[in-house]
Amino acid sequence: GAGVSQSPRYKVAKRGQDVALRCDPISGHVSLFWYQQALGQGPEFLTYFQNEAQLDKSGLPSDRFFAERPEGSVSTLKIQRTQQEDSAVYLCASSSRTDLNYGYTFGSGTRLTVV
């Protein structure tokens, strides 16, 4: 596709519910990142994939958060037993290179509200 596509755009979950957020990167992009952006804050790094390999998951806030990219294209961020503090916009970004001087393309994000 022309850009990074994220779905759903909005998700309301009851506390304790599991959610899955999808990211379709630009076709052929090797690197894929997930970020979490709380209201009024800058995005914070969650995890990084190079093709299907998850090379860095140091930003995942707890073991309730899990990300995968099994075939090196589409990625899913799963949050189990959601809590109110998980409410945020989840942003996905992809890059055609592994050299980070080539920049990223960000998706529009999924806004998660936990009630």
CB of residue 16 to other proteins, shortest distance in Å:
27
Contacts with other proteins by CB under 8 A lie at: 4, 33, 35, 40-45, 48, 55-56, 59, 91, 93, 100-101, 103-109, 111
Q: Which is nearer to other proteins, 19 or 91 (CB)?
A: 91
Alpha-carbon distance of 32 to 38, in angstroms, equals: 20
CB of 115 to other proteins, least distance (A): 20
14 or 99, CB closer to other proteins? 99
Is 18 or 52 the residue whose CB approaches other proteins more closely?
52
Q: Least distance to other proteins from the beta carbon of 10, Å?
A: 10
Count of other CB atoms within 10 angstroms of residue 35 = 20
- Among 75, 74, 51, which Cα is nearest to 65's? 75
List CB contacts of 46: < 8 A, sequence separation 6 or more: 33, 34, 35, 36, 57, 59, 60, 61, 65, 67, 77, 90
Q: Which is nearer to other proteins, 10 or 81 (CB)?
A: 10
